[in-house]
Each structure stands twice: as structure tokens, then as C-alpha cells.
Structure 1
Amino acid sequence: MPITPRPSTSSFAALARLLRYARGYRRQILAATSCSIINKLFDIAPEILIGIAIDVVVNQETSFMASIGFDSAQSQILALGALTFFIWAGESLFEYLFQILWRNLAQRLQADLRQDAYEHAQRLDMSFFESRSSGQLVATMNDDVNQLERFLDGGANAMIQVVVTVLAVGAVFFIISPLVALLAFTPIPLIIWGAFYFQRKAGPLYADVREKVGDLATRLANNLGGIATIKSFTAEEREAERLRASSEAYVSANRKAIRVSSAFIPVIRMAILAGFLATFTVGGMMALEGTLNVGAYGVLVFLTQRLLWPLTGLAEVVDLFERAMASTRRILDLLAEPVRVIDNASQNLPETVSGNVVFNRVSFSYPNGVTGLRDISLDVSAGHTLALVGTTGSGKSTLIKLLMRFYDPQHGDITIDGQSISAISLKSLRQAIGLVSQDVYLFEGSIRDNIAYGRPEASTEEIIAAAQQAEAWSFIEQLPEGLDTPVGERGVRMSGGQRQRLSLARALLTDPAILILDEATSAVDNETEAAIQRSLRHIRHNRTVIVIAHRLSTIVDADTIAVIDNGQVRELGSHQQLLAEDGLYAAQWRVQTGRADDTVTG
């Protein structure tokens, strides 16, 4: 669902944004609101019947009931009893209906909000994830959505019924005695002002509470993910203290918000007391003087009491509302994040992709102003291997991110088989590319699930063939559960080399025309490196391979080696050609081979 640009940060602005988002639920909202209103009208009716009953007992043949056709006092009481039954039955029925409607709406809306937020986040470019912690995002999609659900479960109904109570009771008061009504309702403006005053005070405090929740979630996620590092450095006590600090910051933020919201209750109680005393004393004097019917006086006293409880609970409702709107702002702000890499192309790559990749004068700067690439041009022939080498931060990985369209370049163009990748749908583009990165991510599940991640429908034979190509089958078949062996969260039950080979098998199963190895051998043992090298010799035939490598020994057979330095191509050629040039590549080769003092001659 589209979200309008972010307006004011007030709670009512957040509510307006939420209602715009939920316009598809308009019928459910109207039905739930109607049931809440009818239920509250039935709820205050017994107080009116009590007053009428008092009038019957006191005045009998001259009572209000007698004036509408019930002659005897007994018939009047029986009629009131029957009416009371139907009112209580109606109240119970509509309470059941509004509970069902509001709770189902809460469940449906929170599920859709979480799904929309997640799907929108998946469309955002990588800079968004690089600038935000995963803990904050999880807190937004989980805790904040649940906070809104809690408000819709009970708070929305309570707010509606407070308004209905004030309006309905006020109407009865003015019909019976405008003077008593004026005195009894004089404190209402103070109560409304107090509600808005505390809302303005509490709003920023609850926004801070939600931020602290995100910080705490981030701390927990980071610590649990890095538990091996914590243990290896015996940092348990230090990390426990850091978690305690984050937890205390959350407690402190909550304490400030609670202090403000709690002060609201005594203010409302005193304002209600003033109204109740006005009804009790002035109405009583009028009843004694005979200017106010005794039954009507009873109605006013009972209705004033009925008004007391919902207004006393208004503080709790406002508290729940503020928490929910603070969460709503965070959810809708996430949904309002602009998608910079737009996938609006309907064109697909052909079924058979040759794999000719061209970078044509590509320049790119990151959102923080750091220049990634400057006027880079490279032509990778189909079926050839291009190796990218250079120091950390030189721009090698940025090239890959642009080819995958994790970002779009500010200048220049990238083509595959002559087609600009900006004119190709993201699905078609990325299905033609297999990525094996240094930081392998395995999903919790089995080895089978992870290898087949790009092709869930793949047969067991195809999965085994991919594992054999990646030289992963030798260790898989030795495991007691084979392909069904669980890898653990993020693959913690596999060694680094095993994870890397599984990642290669996962990429090979999709049979990509272009295979990217982003420093895939930089953090593995010699055996795994040798296994991956053997795999590459077999799989690079009829496939374009782009390799990012620090170990130059792994790319000596590459057709072309590009030396990237400070976002530019400084040297380009084969291994032998670059050694002969005696430039940056040759210098790095001598360092890695232990011949730093040697001089390479052409």
C-alpha cells in the first residue's frame, strides 16, 4: 500500500497516516466502531432505567411510565424488567461483536503491516541496511507492530466509548436539567486539555522508549551472534554490563514516560469529583425544592458515576495510544523509505545468456559521499574470467554491487550481452548471476535446503551434482544425515571451508551464465582453496567468471586481471603481462611470493 511522505511527528498525525494506510479496512473499522458505539449506548441505559424505576416507586400512577400507557405500578415494574433484559442482552451481543471485530482487525492489520514492511525493506538498496542495525529493524517489524496490535485490541474501543459516554451522558443531562448539566460538565474542557497536554508531553518520551527497545534488541542480537568471540576473549562480564546499561536505558526512558502518564490520573479524578459534587449537591437541592423529579435526580447521580470510570481510565488509554503511535511512526517511516533501485523494467534476458559484461564509464559515490568508482570501463568477453585485485576499499566489491544492481551508478552504464541492466527486470538479472561471497550466509535448515535455496524445486540428483561440482559432496556424504544434516543458525555447525563450498554449490545449482566469486577463498584453509580452484577449472568453461581476490596465486590463470586503485582501473592485462609491466600488480606479487626485493624486467 503506498505511503505518503512523512508529515508531522505528532501522535494524531501518526494516526492519520495509519488510517490512510488502513483505508482498505474501512468496512471493518466502521463495523467495529458501530458495535462499540451501540454497546456503550446499551451500557449506560441501565442507569436511566434505575432512575425511571425510582420514579415509579415514588410517583406510581403519575410516573413517567404511567404517561406512556402503563397504568399500574406493577405493570410499570414488569415492563422495566423486560426492557432491562433486552438492554443487557443487546449490550452483551454488541460487546461480543466489537471484541471479535477489533481483535480480528488488529490481527489482520498487524500481519499486513509486518508483511508490507518486510517486503518494502527487501526492495531497499543496500545502503539502507548498511546504515541501520538489524536489531532496530527487527524491533520495528516485531515489537512496534505488536504494540499497535495491543492498542487495536482494546485501546481503540476504549477511546471511542469514552467519546460516546461523554456525548450520550451529556445529552441526557441537558434534557433533564440544563443547569445541572452545565455545572457537571464544566470540568470536561479541563479533562480534554489535560489529555492533549499529557499527550504532547508523553509523545516524545514514548518515541525515545521505542528507540531504546531497538537499541536493546540490537545489543542482544549482536551478542548472541558473536557468542563465540565473547567467550574466546572472556568478555562475558563486560558484555553483561553493556547489556545491563542498554536495559537500564530502556527502563529509564520508560520511567520518564510513566511519570508523565501517571500524573494524568489524579488530575482527571479531581476534575470528575468537581462535576460529581455539582450533580450531587445542586441536583439534590433542586429535588428537595421540587423543581427536579426524584427519579431524574437518581438518573443524574448514577450517570455521573458512570461517567467517572471511563474518564478515569482515559489516562491508561492515552498511555496505550501514545505507545502505539510512537510505534506506528517507526513502522510507517520504514514504509516511507524511498526505493532507489527501481525495478520497473518488464524486459528479461533471453533464456540463453552468453555472459558478455561491459562496464561503460561507470562512476559511483556512496550516500555518505565516499567515492566508490570513477569512470571505470571494462569489457568481459563471454566465457572469459576477469580477476579484480587491489587494496581494501579500492572499489572491487562496489563493481559487483553495481552489476547485481544493489546500487545504481550515478554515471555510465553496465550491459549484459548488449542489454543495459537498468532495462532488465531485477529477477531476470539476478537469476543470470551466481554470487559466492567471502561472508557466507547459510539459513537455518538442512544442507539440502541451503544448496537448493535458489532452486527449491531441484531434484536430489541435481543437488548432489552441484555439490560434486563444488567439491562439497565428499564431506556431505560422510555426515550421518547427509543432505538432511542441519547447518544451524547462520551455518554455525559447519566449518568455514564447508560453508564456502556449500555456498559455491548453491550458486552452481542455478547454473548461472555469470559467476561472481567475491574473495571466496580469502578466509579458507589451503585444502578448501585447492578444492575451489579445482572446481573453477571445471565450471568456468562456457561461463563468465568474475573473481575478486587478495591471493594472487588463485587468479594467475584468469584471462584478464584488472588492478583497481582508488576507484579506477590502474592496470589491465594477463598475469604475465602485468608482471612484465612491473607496476602495482608486480609489486604485490613479489610481496605475496616472498620476493619483495626482486625486480621484474620486461
Structure 2
Amino acid sequence: MSPVPTLLPTSDAETSPLRALWRHHRRYRPRVVAAAAATTLNTAADVLPELLLGVAVDVVVRGSDSFAATLFGVEDRFSQLVIVAAVNAGVWVIESITDYVASLLWRGLAQDVEHDLRVETYTNVQELDVSWHEGSAPGRVLSVISDDVNQLERFLDTGARVILHTFWTVVFVGAVFAATSWTLTLLAFLPVPVIVIGSIVFQRRLEPLYARVRARAGDVSATISTNLGGLSTIKAFTAEAREVERVREVSTGYRDANLTTIRWSSAFVPLIRMAILAGFTSTLLLGGWLVINGRLEVGLYTILVFMTQRLLWPLTDLGETLDLYQRAMASTRRIFALMSERGDTRPGASSLALPVRGRLELRGIRFGYADGPDVLRGLDIVVPAGETHAVVGTTGAGKSSLLRLVLRFSDPREGQVLLDGTDVRELGWDALRGAIGYVSQDVFLFHGTVRDNLAYGRVDATDEQVREAARLAEADAFIAELPQGYDTVVGERGQTLSGGQRQRIALARAILRDPALLVLDEATSAVDTETEAAIQRSLAAVTASRTALVVAHRLSTVRDADRIWVLAGGRVAESGSHDELVAAGGIYAGLWAVQIGEAVGAGSRAR
């Protein structure tokens, strides 16, 4: 299984995924600011109850000399407590409201960013050329679009808020300590540098580990996706046990990568707990000693004890948050790497003059795959508008490569492909492929109704236009016999239909598009004789008024073509009508003799 180039990080995502996110999602910056402000206010309201508890203790202990008495000008203790309780209730209301607002903003932001990245990443992947996809494992790409985007959403949903909440907790609690006792401040904050340094060390250690986890997750997704797509082949070759073992191997790799990461990330929380114990014990003992010796008020001591816990205990969440952060950053690098991919084939900006006639010309074509040898060499083919031309040849002659150039799934190394006299590289995708109706050898139908699949290339088609295309493709009769007719759901890849039925639906889909140029790739190679005859009748009807280019293995399907081009070794070896080529006694005549001989032989054996 070849590696997927998209999973290599770009320099931008590699150096700072968060900075890349901040630049990429500029439109969400006001919402980030609003969410941060709500979290800040929520944290302040969350800290105040501990202060009010100390004030209440001070009221009980000192009475008319308490801080509340001085602040509110009330001497009665119970009245002071009522005021403190009222203030506390207001603080709780503010805390609850800001918690709701912050949660709404952060979680909504996470959903919007997740949605945007998934759509943008898929859009970029869809725009990449066919050759890029042929060199990439779909399962790994799916892992980035689905799982990696979800990892980032989980961090934005909770992790960002926890980090901000922890930061402001340290600031607000630190301000209370600093206003009370610098000695206690130093002791209470003593664990913080240990936690910060420990976080940095763990972050650097965990970063490559989580990158490895995400890569192994891609392996699992790719393997399972491939196996599910080839399930019938697996069963036909009784390879179930072998494929289970393959899945077990990649799953073991994913599990082991996760376990290694877990061993490191799990050690972070115990480290923090020991630091918290040291800070809490210091405040408890030294603060108590100051109270006993009359150097600190009981209320302040109560505040500081609670504040120490308030300061240090949220830091235990950093372990889980750090885990979320590292997973999200590893995923973000993969997301931006995939979004930065650019294919070799880019659309032009020109359009074809109307009406499109469909004249096709391949001029001086030289073509090969990647760094491999030339597959097509000096190819010159002209298909006049309105004519039906066929391309035949033995396996490896270059027939499918020729069609790739016509559809512009690839570009030639030399030469030009011209449609109505315009180089296809100058045309936009709508102009080029909008003028072409394509029927492939391996028909792909989407999960949906028959009508949905027929109208896929022309979604605004009326029911009558859909039925007319089906009649031309001789598909209307068998569609009418389906359980719900045109509303019958065909299943993924059209698995509920036979090969011949799928082929006729594909032909009808191309006809409904009303293309100037109809391109068929081995359209009858996998169908029975009856279906082949039906497709031949359909082609005779639909090609009467348009240009058609037919690649065929069964020569009987192209014997009526205006011209037949015979490829050999990537070059045009012969061309002419069926009768001319048979009379010439060349390559085509040999192929025809073989097929006729096989047919006669098969008929003799049947008798």
C-alpha cells in the first residue's frame, strides 16, 4: 500500500497549527473574543464564592469589626450575613449565566469550525485530479476528513475553555494571595513552575507520539475501507481469515501507539497532584501558624486555604486537556496538509462556442504515467463532428490512456487534445466535461433511487426527460419491473442491479446529459449478448446526431463505426472502416478472426 503524500505536514501546520487555524478562520475571531470574555467573567464569578465564604467567617468571628461591617456600614451580624448571602446569590446567577453563554459560544464555534474544515477539505480533495487519487489510499483520506476533524472539534469544544479558565483562575487567585501575604503567595505558587515546566516537557514528548497515533489511525481506516469495498473478492477467494489478520495487524499498531502515548500522558496528572500537595500543605501549615500567632485573620486564613485548592486543583485537568490538545494539533497538521494539496491538472478559464459540435482531435500526443515510459507515442486522431469513431487494440495498447486525455483526467507530455478546435487545457471543467457524456467500464451508481442516478448529470431534468433517456438506453422496461419503479433504491454502487442493468442506467445517464461528445469505455465488456444487442441499438439511435468515441474490446459493437482506430504500442497502427480493416488483413483482421473463431467454437461446444 503506497504512502499518502497528503499526510506529510506543511511548514505552516508543522510550525504552529493554532496560528494556522487563527489565520484560516478570520471570520470567527469576534466569536473567539466573545467566548474568551464570557469565560473570563465566568472564572471571576467562580472564584468570588470562596472570598465571600471568608467574609462570612469574618462576620461570625469579628462581628461589628468585620470587613463586611466596614464595607456595608451594618453592625448587626445577621444583617451582614444576609447581605453576604444576597451578594453570593447574585454571583451564582452571574456564574450560571456566563457559564451558559461561554458553553454556547465555545461549543457552537467548535461545530462551525468542524463543519467548515470538513467541507473545505472535502472540496479540495474532490478538486484534485484523478491521478492524485489513484496514488492515494481513500481510507487514509477519509480518516483525515472524518476522524481528524472530529479530534479538533473535541478540543475546541472543551479544551480551549479549560485552558482559558485555568489561566484566569491563576491570575485572580494570585491577586488575592498577593494582596494578603507575599510569603503565602510564594508558597502557594511554588508548584506552578513545576507544572508549567512539566507541561512543556510532556508536550514535546507527546507531540511525535500523537502524530504516530494519527498515522496508525489512518492505516486502520484505509485497511477497513479497502476490505469493505472488496468484500465480494475476499469471499470469492475465501480470504476472510487472511484479511482479519491484516486488520488485526494494523489495529495492533494503532493500539500499541496509543498505549505508548497513554503511558506518558497518564504520568502527567500524578506529577501535578504531588505539586498540589506541596502547595496546599504549605498554605495550611504556614497560614495556620500565622493565625495562631495573631498575624493573620481567621477569615483570611479560610479564604487562602480554599483559594489554594481553587488555584491548584484545576491544574489536574491539564493532563486531560494536554491530551486533547496534542491529539488536536496532530490532526490539525494532517488537515491543513490535505487542504494544501494541489493536483497537477488545473482547469482553464475558456468556454466553447455554442452550439458545441463535438469535433475531437488528438494531435502529436505523447503521454505516460508519473516518471514511467511513454504509453502513447506520436498519436494523431481526428473525430469529425457527428461521426462515431472506435478505438480498439490489445491490452496495454493505450486505449484507456487515450480516454484519460480526452476527459482531461491527465495531461499529455507533448501534443494537444482539441475539442471544437480549442485545447482542452484552456477550458473550464464545466465547459469541457459539460460537453461530454461518459460511460465507464466500471459503472458507479450512488446509493439512492434509480431516478436520482439517472438525473445525476442533469438534476433539473423532468420525469418525462428521465424516462425518455431510459427508453433510448432500453432501460425503461426493466426499471418498470422493479419494486418501486424509478423510485427503487439501488443500494451502494448499484449492488441490487445486474451488470447489464447498471450499464444501461449509466448509458441513460449520459444520454440525459445531452452531450455533444459521447465517450464509452468498454461499455459492453461485462454484459451478456442480449444486453450487448440492446446497448448497440441504443448507441445507433443516440449517436445519430452527436459525436461518439467508443473504446471497445468486443469488435462486434463497433463494426458499424464510421472509422476504427487500431492502437498498438501506443501508436495508431491502422485505421479505416470495419470492412476496410478486415480486407487489409492486418492487426484488426487478426483480432476479428480470433473473436469470430471463439464465438464459433463456443457455439459448437454448446451444441
Structure 1 length normalisation: TM-score? 0.92
Match of 1:169 in 2: 173
Q: CA deviation at 1:567?
A: 3.5
Match of 1:139 in 2: 143
Match of 2:402 in 1: 399
- Retained in 2: the 8 A contact 1:148–1:324? yes
Match of 1:54 in 2: 57
Once the two structures are overlaid, the 10-residue window that deviates more, 463-472 or 280-289, is: 280-289
Q: CA deviation at 1:202?
A: 1.8
Match of 1:436 in 2: 439
State which of 248, 255, 266 in structure 2 corresponds to 1:251.
Answer: 255
- Which blocks of at least 5 consecutive residues in structure 1 are unaligned? 596-602
State which of 342, 349, 352 in structure 2 corresponds to 1:349.
Answer: 352
Match of 1:6 in 2: 10
Once the two structures are overlaid, the 10-residue window that deviates more, 246-255 or 501-510, is: 246-255
- Classify the secondary structure of the residue corresponding to 2:190: coil
Q: CA deviation at 1:315?
A: 0.2
**1:469-504 per-position Cα deviation (integer Å, ceiling 9, x unaligned):** 112223223334222222111100100111111100
For the structure 1 residues 567 and 62, does the alpha-carbon distance in structure 2 shift closer, same or farther, using more than 3 Å as the test? farther
For the structure 1 residues 575 and 582, does the alpha-carbon distance in structure 2 shift closer, same or farther, using more than 3 Å as the test? same
Match of 1:455 in 2: 458
Match of 2:488 in 1: 485
Q: CA deviation at 1:215?
A: 2.5
**1:18-60 per-position Cα deviation (integer Å, ceiling 9, x unaligned):** 2222211111111111111111111111112222223333333
- Retained in 1: the 8 A contact 2:276–2:313? no
Aligned length: 589
Q: What residue identity is the alignment partner of 2:181? A: S
Distance of 1:529 and 1:431 partners within structure 2: 27
- Retained in 2: the 8 A contact 1:387–1:555? yes
Match of 2:417 in 1: 414
Match of 2:542 in 1: 539
- Retained in 2: the 8 A contact 1:70–1:76? no
Match of 1:600 in 2: none
Q: What residue identity is the alignment partner of 2:392? A: V
- Classify the secondary structure of the residue corresponding to 2:267: helix
Does 2:26 align with 1:27?
Answer: no
For the structure 1 residues 295 and 420, does the alpha-carbon distance in structure 2 shift closer, same or farther, using more than 3 Å as the test? same
- Retained in 2: the 8 A contact 1:404–1:430? yes
Match of 2:604 in 1: none
Does 2:182 align with 1:158?
Answer: no
Q: CA deviation at 1:516?
A: 0.5
Q: What residue identity is the alignment partner of 1:312? A: T
Does 2:91 align with 1:87?
Answer: yes
Once the two structures are overlaid, the 10-residue window that deviates more, 103-112 or 386-395, is: 386-395
Match of 2:199 in 1: 195
Match of 2:5 in 1: none
For the structure 1 residues 544 and 188, does the alpha-carbon distance in structure 2 shift closer, same or farther, using more than 3 Å as the test? same
Once the two structures are overlaid, the 10-residue window that deviates more, 151-160 or 335-344, is: 335-344
Q: What residue identity is the alignment partner of 1:303? A: M
Q: CA deviation at 1:248?
A: 2.8
Distance of 2:189 and 2:436 partners within structure 1: 71
Q: CA deviation at 1:369?
A: 4.2
- Which blocks of at least 5 consecutive residues in structure 2 are unaligned? 1-8, 599-607
- Retained in 2: the 8 A contact 1:386–1:546? yes
RMSD, aligned CA? 2.3
Q: CA deviation at 1:203?
A: 2.0
- Classify the secondary structure of the residue corresponding to 1:313: helix
For the structure 1 residues 282 and 260, does the alpha-carbon distance in structure 2 shift closer, same or farther, using more than 3 Å as the test? same
State which of 500, 506, 511 in structure 1 corresponds to 2:514.
Answer: 511
For the structure 1 residues 529 and 169, does the alpha-carbon distance in structure 2 shift closer, same or farther, using more than 3 Å as the test? same
Distance of 2:535 and 2:518 partners within structure 1: 13
Match of 1:185 in 2: 189
Q: What residue identity is the alignment partner of 1:546? A: L
- Classify the secondary structure of the residue corresponding to 2:446: coil
**1:268-295 per-position Cα deviation (integer Å, ceiling 9, x unaligned):** 1112222222222223323333333332
Match of 1:300 in 2: 304
Distance of 1:460 and 1:68 partners within structure 2: 80
State which of 256, 265, 271 in structure 1 corresponds to 2:269.
Answer: 265
For the structure 1 residues 373 and 15, does the alpha-carbon distance in structure 2 shift closer, same or farther, using more than 3 Å as the test? farther
Distance of 1:39 and 1:391 partners within structure 2: 74
